[in-house]
Amino acid sequence: MNAARARTSGAEIIAAGRTLLEEGGVEAVTMLAVADRVGVRAPSLYKRVAGRSALIAAIAEGTLAELSEAIGTTADDEDPAVALRAVAIRFRAFALANPRAYGLLFGDEPTEHRLTPEASARASQPVIGLATALVGPEHALNAARLLTAFVHGFISMEIGDAFRLGGNVDEAFRYGLDVLVDALSGQRRGRSTRRR
Amino acid sequence: MNAARARTSGAEIIAAGRTLLEEGGVEAVTMLAVADRVGVRAPSLYKRVAGRSALIAAIAEGTLAELSEAIGTTADDEDPAVALRAVAIRFRAFALANPRAYGLLFGDEPTEHRLTPEASARASQPVIGLATALVGPEHALNAARLLTAFVHGFISMEIGDAFRLGGNVDEAFRYGLDVLVDALSGQRRGRSTRRR
DNA sequence: ACCTGAACACCGTTCAAGT
DNA sequence: ACCTGAACACCGTTCAAGT
């Protein structure tokens, strides 16, 4: 009856963790820092989350949900080249707005908080679909891998501050996207790309 | 005179750290584990390395040196398309052979062990040169960024086990490389790629 | 029911001794 | 000179009490 009233919640804890993540990287999301932020002692967090690892997994999950909402869906009748560009641009915008959380999801870290195979397959389906529309079924998987590798690689280098030679980085992204989508479009009923 | 004889060396410590890195990720390279591996107590490591952070930086440096040796140099008279493919393939091979160390150098981690601006500029010079030979000076930077983003992104996804839809991953890499190099070659004295 | 302080294990690092 | 045990700060986690 005299039971203590809850002073925080799982959602608040996850939000605090998310803030700490973007402020100081994953090593800054400390049980102590999170507890501090939500106004409780560290041991109390274990009533809501199983531990630090589970907390970080929950942050990753929340981010993934936000990301797929930010991407939205593409209409079936849309020009695949146009749709592909739009998806890539929205994806990049989300990543740049949430760089640390993006790294959590797609970074090279341990397999800690990786997507499940199903989630992963579901996430790649739209791109595979667009790639099929663009280059046909035979090269769809290869084309999708080319596109995602470019987009992820570009964003990852951008977040890691690897583009240090000046120039317009936004333009470089558009350039890359255009070259790729044009090249793949031209491949529709094309000769083999293979050399040698 | 009765001075204790050295029981380890900086090189041995770095090598031990490198092994632990590839075996268990960066969080496994612990001062205790390294000390254990070289047969000394943890405090003794501080005679050779300034601390854990410096040790990891030294591992990164060593890896970078190995990498640039593995890449080698490209002859000036080589076909840029051929040279570009060769460099990309050697780069990928090195990364797949040293995935954790690669992540240390190019991962999305904090700025901890990042290349200096000069090293970074020096490292990108060959690719810029080849890109210039391929597409001309105006688009060279954009083209180099497209190429490196694809190569890094592909490798990074491969290491992170993000290609889970089957298919031949080696072939996908060659496919991407071919599409890119062909598209950029066609651009030599080409119309603008920009749309809209 | 939820909270807390105390305690433990673990890791990086320092330092006063040892040889 | 280089080594070591002891000690400290820090962090994740557990648990016996408290209300």
Q: pLDDT for B11-62, tens place per residue? A: 999 999 999 999 999 999 999 999 999 999 999 999 999 999 999 999 999 9
pTM: 0.91
- Smallest Cβ–Cβ distance between A183 and the set B109, B121, B183 belongs to B183
Q: What percent of chain B has pLDDT over 70?
A: 91
Judged by a CB distance cut-off of 8 A, whether residue A150 touches chain B is yes
Q: In this model, does residue A163 exceed pLDDT 70? A: yes
Which bases of chain C are under 7 A from a protein CB atom?
1-6, 11-16, 18-19
Name the nearest CA neighbour of A145 among B180, B173, B160: B173
Q: Cα distance from A50 to chain B (closest Cα, Å)?
A: 21
What is the Cα–Cα distance from B150 to B156, expressed in whole angstroms? 10
Judged by a CB distance cut-off of 8 A, whether residue A185 touches chain B is no
What is the Cα–Cα distance from B98 to B102, expressed in whole angstroms? 6
Judged by a CB distance cut-off of 8 A, whether residue B120 touches chain A is yes
Q: In this model, does residue A75 exceed pLDDT 60? A: yes
Q: What percent of chain A has pLDDT over 90?
A: 75
DSSP string, A123-174: HHHHHHHHHHHHH-GGGHHHHHHHHHHHHHHHHHHHHTT---S-S-HHHHHH
Model pLDDT for residues A140-150, shown as the tens digit of each residue = 999 999 999 99
Alpha helices in chain A (DSSP H): 10-24, 31-38, 52-71, 80-97, 99-106, 117-135, 140-159, 169-186
- Smallest Cβ–Cβ distance between B108 and the set A159, A178, A187 belongs to A159
Confidence band for A114, pLDDT divided at 50, 70 and 90: low
Judged by a CB distance cut-off of 8 A, whether residue B119 touches chain A is no
Judged by a CB distance cut-off of 8 A, whether residue B182 touches chain A is yes
The interface residues of chain B toward chain A in range 77-106, judged by CB-CB distance below 8 A, are 103, 106
Whether residue A146 and residue B150 make contact (CB cut-off 8 A), yes or no, is: yes
Which pLDDT value is given to residue A77? 74
The chain-wide mean pLDDT, for chain A, equals 90
Of the two residues B138 and B3, the one the predictor is more confident about is B138
Q: In this model, does residue A31 exceed pLDDT 90? A: yes
Confidence band for A192, pLDDT divided at 50, 70 and 90: very low
Q: In this model, does residue B100 exceed pLDDT 80? A: yes
Which pLDDT value is given to residue B194? 44
State whether the beta carbon of A27 lies below 7 angstroms from any atom of strand C: no
Select the residue from B104, B179, B196 to test the A interface by mutation, using most A Cβ atoms within 10 A.
Answer: B179
Of the two residues B118 and B158, the one the predictor is more confident about is B158
Q: Cα distance from A1 to chain B (closest Cα, Å)?
A: 46
Confidence band for B3, pLDDT divided at 50, 70 and 90: low
C-alpha distances in Å from residue B137, one per residue of A45, B81, B140, B181: 57, 16, 5, 16
